[in-house]
């Protein structure tokens, strides 16, 4: 029992009886407790019937056994037996029965029992917390709030369990503002915000898109000064939130804490950390974590962790490494449909349509049950190269496997026709989707708008009007497409108009990709100053990544201001003030650096600007490509 092997402890009872021994009261009490722990509620009842003398803990063990079986009547029967015995029921025994009432959802008997408890004993915090849990389980937020008032009226101080239970109830009911009010009460009452509070609020963000709530939650995290590595649930929810909302600087800080703390991550946490490194484009960090898990600690990854690693590799352009990893582990961890879908997505990204079909054939050979998601990935691989005949074959197989095409399926088919330049067929499929009530969000409109930027810009405004008419809210992806389209057509003013209007009107915040696209549009339209303004906003809001720096460096060079481009490189690596602008693990591309150094050479500035820049890079231990050195010293 000390080692948690309660079932084996209970198994000794048969040996004891077979050896002709009779357990004493203490042994019966222990067996009752252990039988409840391992779920053998029948044995606990048998021990209860045989025990010559029972203590109150024995009665409570049997009450808990009744709770495990969901047998409320039996719990009350045990309570009655306790009343009839020489043992006086205390508040803990009553609370035990109260918990059974709550577990079966009988709030009427909860109140009846509490009325009886008042006549026997004073109610305590555990009593009220159990009542609170009951109302939270039934979703009665109003009644749950009133429990807190009852506690105060009874001169009891709500504790962290009370407040966290109520916060969770508010979040579950979708009352996020109420949750914030409860947290405010919690702080005023001097009850510490703990990792449970933060985890609950992090999970609440899955249901909201308001960046104000995001800022408030992160402010709460900062205010509490909790060590996020002290609780893996909090760490995982925090990592997940930062990845979802692209909070790169904060993600960097958390990863830094993990590196310096004594945490020994679980397999699940390794998956979350791999996703975090992948989000930061630090694939080297993903490999380090993977090696630490499977080589240094000899842990066996589960399906989720392998899926995270495969996704990290695919999203960072290492598709062949992802294929090799799947092959390496497929005999240890059976590949599931998510893993195969990720590999197919990688082949789609790299326009290897035939290899995507090969994966599908392997899935069929291994008897993997298909679903709509994998067919959508497969169709996407074909649509990206305009292989519409193979798309038709996939649709036939999809029907044969009983997989129902969804909005993404048809959106991908529309994309295939857009790639081929057949906008008429694309619109035909789109109108069919509208007729079948499937054009219900911005995904399909984004696909068509993207096609319009290449082939039929005249349709773009018509599609935007159609979105407004059908109450389809645009997304950041929509904005990115429009910014590129308006930028290409010298309509910079319109690009700024939609960027200003859409987030306010539809309640979302600009993501880094849209800001970077707007920078490109400014540069291509000769508005370099405005591009720098946007870059400054990007640095303040979410931090600028290597792509944003590269775009601005390239644009600055094209506009002839090479000295300013050198300053950008210095800012990216923190060569002047030691404050690195780039996220850790990211670096400027050789292409952008070569372009800058060639421009310096062409303007006879290699000696005054180029060589000192390279010296600073070496001093900061930045890896320098040999071609960069040759392009600088060349005269």
Cβ neighbours of residue 276 closer than 8 Å, sequence gap 6 or more: 239, 242, 243, 251, 254, 255
pLDDT at 407: 86
The total number of residues written for the chain in this structure: 635
Contact predicate 346/314, CB 8 Å: yes
Helices (H) and strands (E) in the chain, counts: 36, 0
Q: Grade residue 49 by pLDDT with cuts at 50, 70 and 90.
A: confident
What is the model's pLDDT at position 455? 62
Whether the per-residue pLDDT at 279 is higher than 90: the answer is yes
- Give the C-alpha separation, 56 to 121, whole Å: 16
For residue 635, pLDDT over 50 is answered with no
175 φ/ψ angles, rounded to the nearest 5 degrees: -100, 75
How large a percentage of the chain has pLDDT more than 90? 48
- Minimum mean pLDDT among 24-33, 47-56, 134-143, 398-407: which range? 47-56
Tell me the CB-side half-sphere exposure of residue 145, using CA atoms within 13 A. Answer: 12
Intrachain domains 1-122 and 544-634 with the same fold: yes
Q: What is the pLDDT of residue 328?
A: 95
Q: What DSSP line would sit under 86-148, residue for residue? A: SSPP-HHHHHHHHHHHHHHT-HHHHHHHHHHHHHHS---HHHHHHHHHHHHHTT-HHHHHHHH
In the chain, what percentage of residues exceed pLDDT 70? 97
**pLDDT score of 628 more than 80:** no
Give me the chain's average pLDDT, please: 89
* CA 94, 99, 105, 111 torsion-angle sign: positive
| Confidence (pLDDT) at 86 | 80
User: What is the pLDDT at residue 320?
Assistant: 96
Q: Which residue has the higher pLDDT, 26 or 400?
A: 400
**Range of 263-277, 442-456, 462-476, 591-605 with top mean pLDDT:** 263-277
What is the rounded average pLDDT of the residues 345-355? 95
Q: Both ends of the chain: CA-CA distance in Å?
A: 80
How is the chain split into domains, by residue range?
Answer: 1-122, 544-634
Taking 60 as the threshold, does the pLDDT of residue 634 lie above it?
no
Judged against a pLDDT cut of 70, whether residue 130 lies above it is answered with yes
Q: Please name which of 20, 16, 18, 38 lies closest in space to residue 28, comparing C-alpha atoms.
A: 16
- Angle of helix 476-488 relative to helix 442-454, nearest 10 degrees, comes to 10
pLDDT bracket for residue 353 (50, 70, 90): very high
Whether the CB-CB separation of 290 and 296 falls below 8 Å is answered with no
User: Would you say 364 and 386 are in contact if contact means Cβ atoms under 8 Å apart?
Assistant: no
Determine which of 14-18, 179-183, 526-530 has the lowest per-residue pLDDT on average. Answer: 14-18
* Per-residue confidence (pLDDT) for residue 209, from 0 to 100: 61
Q: CA 430 to CA 410: how far, in whole Å? A: 8
- What pLDDT is recorded for position 479? 93
Q: What average pLDDT does the segment 51-74 reach?
A: 84
- Per-residue model confidence (pLDDT) at position 470: 86
Residue 522 pLDDT > 80: yes
d(CA 467, CA 488): 22
DSSP state of 122: -
> Above 60 in pLDDT, residue 544?
yes
- Judged against a pLDDT cut of 70, whether residue 38 lies above it is answered with yes
Which residues 6+ apart lie within 8 Å of 475 measured at CB?
442, 446, 508
**What per-residue confidence (pLDDT) applies to 625?**
67
pLDDT grade for 569, boundaries at 50, 70 and 90: very high
Beta-carbon neighbour count of residue 111 at 10 Å? 12
* Residue 554: pLDDT over 80: yes
The 10s digit of each residue's pLDDT in 576-618 is 888 899 987 788 888 888 889 889 988 988 889 988 998 898 8
User: 160 falls in which pLDDT band (50, 70, 90)?
Assistant: very high
Element (H, E) at 529: helix 528-541
SS3 for 585? coil
- Between 1.20.58.110, 1.10.630.10, 3.40.50.300, 1.25.40.10, what CATH number should domain 1-122 receive? 1.25.40.10
Query: Residue 315 in contact with residue 292, Cβ under 8 Å?
Result: no
d(CA 353, CA 344): 9
- Which pLDDT score, from 0 to 100, does residue 440 have? 73
Higher pLDDT, 233 or 453: 233
More confident position, 49 or 525: 525
Tokens 């919690």, residue located: 186
Range 544-634: architecture per CATH: Alpha Horseshoe (1.25)
Confidence at residue 532, expressed as pLDDT on a 0 to 100 scale: 95
> Tokens at residue 507, please?
């309640």
């Amino acid at each position: 029992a000390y080692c948690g092997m309660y079932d084996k402890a209970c198994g000794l009872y048969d040996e004891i009886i077979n050896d002709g021994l009779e357990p004493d009261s203490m042994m019966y009490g222990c067996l009752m407790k252990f039988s409840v722990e391992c779920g053998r509620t029948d044995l606990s009842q048998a021990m209860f019937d045989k025990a010559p003398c029972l203590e109150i803990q024995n009665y409570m063990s049997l009450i808990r056994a009744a709770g495990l079986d969901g047998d409320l009547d039996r719990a009350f029967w045990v309570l009655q037996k306790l009343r009839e015995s020489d043992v006086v029921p205390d508040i803990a025994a009553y609370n035990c029965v109260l918990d059974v009432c709550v577990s079966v959802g009988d709030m009427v008997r909860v109140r009846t029992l509490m009325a009886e408890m008042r006549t026997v004993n004073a109610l305590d915090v555990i009593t009220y917390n159990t009542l609170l849990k009951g109302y939270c389980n039934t979703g009665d937020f109003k009644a749950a709030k009133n429990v807190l008032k009852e506690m105060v009226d009874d001169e009891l101080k709500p504790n962290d369990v009370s407040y966290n239970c109520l916060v969770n109830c508010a979040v579950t009911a979708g009352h996020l503002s109420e949750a914030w009010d409860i947290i405010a009460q919690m702080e005023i009452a001097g009850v510490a915000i703990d990792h449970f509070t933060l985890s609950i609020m992090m999970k609440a963000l899955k249901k909201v898109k308001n960046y104000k709530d995001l800022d408030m939650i992160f402010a709460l995290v900062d205010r509490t000064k909790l060590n996020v590595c002290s609780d893996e649930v909090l760490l995982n929810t925090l990592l997940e939130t930062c990845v979802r909302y692209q909070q790169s600087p904060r993600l960097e800080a958390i990863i830094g804490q993990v590196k310096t703390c004594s945490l020994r991550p679980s397999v699940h946490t390794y998956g979350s950390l791999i996703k975090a490194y992948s989000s930061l484009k630090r694939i080297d960090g993903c490999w380090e974590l993977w090696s630490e898990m499977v080589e240094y600690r000899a842990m066996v990854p589960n399906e989720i962790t392998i899926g995270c690693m495969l996704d990290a590799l695919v999203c960072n352009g290492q598709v062949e490494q992802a294929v090799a990893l799947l092959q390496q582990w497929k005999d240890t961890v059976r590949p599931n449909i998510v893993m195969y879908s990720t590999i197919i997505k990688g082949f789609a990204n790299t326009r290897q349509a035939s290899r995507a079909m090969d994966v599908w054939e392997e899935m069929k050979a291994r008897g993997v049950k298909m679903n709509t998601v994998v067919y959508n990935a497969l169709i996407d691989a074909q649509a990206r190269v305009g292989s519409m005949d193979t798309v038709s074959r996939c649709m036939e197989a999809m029907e044969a496997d009983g997989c129902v095409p969804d909005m993404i399926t048809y959106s991908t088919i529309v994309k295939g026709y857009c790639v081929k330049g057949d906008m008429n067929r694309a619109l035909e499929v789109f109108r069919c989707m509208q007729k079948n009530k499937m054009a219900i969000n911005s995904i399909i409109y984004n696909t068509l708008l993207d096609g319009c930027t290449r082939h039929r810009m005249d349709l773009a405004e018509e599609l935007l009007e159609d979105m407004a008419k059908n109450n389809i809210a645009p997304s950041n992806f929509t904005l990115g497409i429009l910014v590129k389209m308006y930028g290409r057509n010298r309509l910079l003013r319109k690009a700024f108009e939609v960027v200003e209007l859409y987030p306010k009107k539809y309640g979302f915040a600009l993501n880094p990709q849209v800001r970077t696209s707007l920078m490109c549009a400014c540069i291509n339209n000769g508005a370099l100053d405005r591009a720098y303004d946007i870059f400054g906003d990007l640095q303040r809001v979410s931090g600028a990544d290597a792509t944003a720096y590269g775009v601005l460096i390239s644009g600055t060079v094209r506009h002839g201001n090479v000295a300013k481009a050198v300053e950008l490189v210095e800012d990216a690596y923190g060569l002047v003030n030691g404050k690195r602008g780039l996220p850790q693990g990211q670096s400027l591309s050789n292409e952008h650096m070569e372009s800058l150094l060639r421009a310096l050479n062409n303007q006879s500035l290699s000696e005054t600007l180029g060589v000192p820049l390279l010296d600073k890079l070496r001093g900061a231990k930045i890896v320098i490509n040999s071609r960069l050195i040759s392009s600088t010293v060349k005269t």
